[in-house]
């Protein structure tokens, strides 16, 4: 199986390093602007050059802007696209454009489970009768630095858990693109961006990133919580997020079946 990767930041590098030991999976190209100083894989400058390497799957690891810039072209080309920046789909215009491109070209838009478990169960609950989904994201102050949280709360002065935003998933995903991709995954699997409630918490005692949600409806109730260590190169990212990409790729290559 041939994959191409967009982005050579913390997640892109981690993903490529994990797949290096898989002889049945070849990373045929990396699209990164600016070009990285050192990369063991072929580096290209634009999406046409990326697609010319004939990948079976493109993995976006470069942020919301990259999905906006390259997503439509990849899907219209007929190539499947695995998306890290799920939060970008909170932009309804972008979501519509990508779905139309997928329908027109045949490429599939793939959403990984990311840092959260229970996504399959949540999708099943939607079919069985889902009435409410409430998500809570809890992270240490360092994980919120460089985000809009700095304008809402003085992160260096927080001494106890503090909820700094309580809103619907669309606002959370668009306001915190580096932190709230898991919010978008829950919204897409469940009730959608406008009916999923979100609370984001800064907690100086948090060890890693804590994701939890409760879903209720005619089917009953789902309650899940995950305490994940963070990626060493980026405290905003739960380490399960890139491993979710690895698992998705291995499933598609036939290396694992469940």
Using only C-alpha atoms, the chain has a radius of gyration, in whole angstroms, of: 18
Neighbouring-strand partners of residue 132: 216
In the chain, residues under CATH classification 3.30.360.10 are 119-238
Decide if 256 contacts 250 (C-beta within 8 A): yes
SS3 call for 140 = coil
Nearest-angstrom CA–CA distance, 206 and 219: 32
184's CB contacts (< 8 A; 6+ apart) are 86, 87, 88, 89, 90, 169, 173, 193
pLDDT > 90: percent of the chain = 77
Q: What mean pLDDT is reported for the chain?
A: 92
Q: Report whether pLDDT(139) > 70.
A: yes
Decide if 208 contacts 162 (C-beta within 8 A): no
Nearest-angstrom CA–CA distance, 90 and 64: 10
What pTM, to 2 d.p., does this model score? 0.89
pLDDT value at residue 256: 66
Helices (H) and strands (E) in the chain, counts: 9, 13
119-238, superfamily in CATH? Dihydrodipicolinate Reductase; domain 2 (3.30.360.10)
Q: CA angle 62-179-55, nearest 5°?
A: 25
Q: Could you tell me which residue, 151 or 231, shows the higher pLDDT?
A: 151
Alpha helix segments (H runs only) across the chain: 10-19, 47-51, 64-76, 92-105, 119-129, 141-144, 169-175, 181-189, 240-253
Looking at the annotation, which residues are catalytic?
211
Domain made up of 2-110: CATH architecture: 3-Layer(aba) Sandwich (3.40)
The Cβ-side half-sphere exposure at 235, using a 13 Å CA radius, reads 13
List pLDDT tens digits, range 3-47: 999 999 999 999 999 999 899 999 999 999 888 888 989 999 999
List pLDDT tens digits, range 150-181: 999 999 999 999 999 999 999 999 998 877 78
Q: Report whether pLDDT(50) > 90.
A: yes
For residue 230, what are its two tokens?
Answer: 């963070």
User: Where is average pLDDT lowest: 133-137, 195-199, 241-245?
Assistant: 241-245
Q: What is the mean pLDDT of residues 109-133?
A: 89
For residue 188, what are its two tokens?
Answer: 């897409």
Using CB atoms within 10 A of its CB, is residue 85 exposed (0-12), middle (13-18) or buried (19+)? Answer: buried
Q: What is the mean pLDDT of residues 182-187?
A: 92
pLDDT value at residue 235: 82
pLDDT value at residue 119: 87
Q: What is the mean pLDDT of residues 223-228?
A: 91
Decide if 185 contacts 113 (C-beta within 8 A): yes
pLDDT > 70: percent of the chain = 98
pLDDT value at residue 241: 86
In the chain, residues under CATH classification 3.40.50.720 are 2-110
Q: Report whether pLDDT(136) > 90.
A: yes
């Amino acid at each position: 199986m041939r994959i191409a990767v967009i982005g050579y930041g913390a997640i892109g590098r981690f993903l490529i390093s994990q797949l290096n030991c898989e002889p049945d999976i070849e990373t045929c190209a990396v699209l990164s602007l600016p070009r990285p100083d050192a990369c063991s894989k072929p580096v290209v400058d634009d999406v046409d050059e990326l697609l010319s390497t004939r990948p079976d799957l493109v993995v976006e690891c470069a942020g919301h802007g990259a999905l906006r810039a390259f997503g439509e072209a990849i899907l219209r080309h007929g190539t499947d696209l695995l998306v890290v920046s799920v939060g970008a789909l909170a932009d309804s215009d972008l979501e519509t454009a990508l779905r139309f491109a997928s329908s027109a070209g045949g490429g599939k838009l793939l959403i990984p489970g990311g840092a959260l478990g229970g996504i399959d169960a949540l999708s099943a609950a939607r079919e069985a009768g889902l009435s409410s989904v409430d998500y809570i994201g809890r992270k240490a102050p360092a994980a919120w630095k460089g985000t809009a949280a700095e304008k809402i709360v003085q992160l260096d002065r927080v001494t106890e858990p503090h909820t700094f935003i309580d809103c619907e998933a669309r606002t959370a995903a668009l306001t915190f693109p580096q932190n709230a991709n898991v919010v978008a995954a829950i919204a897409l699997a469940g009730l959608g961006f406008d009916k999923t409630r979100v609370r984001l918490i800064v907690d100086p005692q948090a060890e890693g990133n804590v994701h939890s949600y409760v879903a209720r409806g005619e089917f009953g109730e789902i309650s899940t919580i995950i305490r994940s260590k963070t990626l060493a190169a980026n405290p905003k990212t739960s380490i399960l997020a890139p491993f979710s990409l690895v698992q998705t790729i291995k499933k598609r290559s036939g290396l694992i079946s469940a």
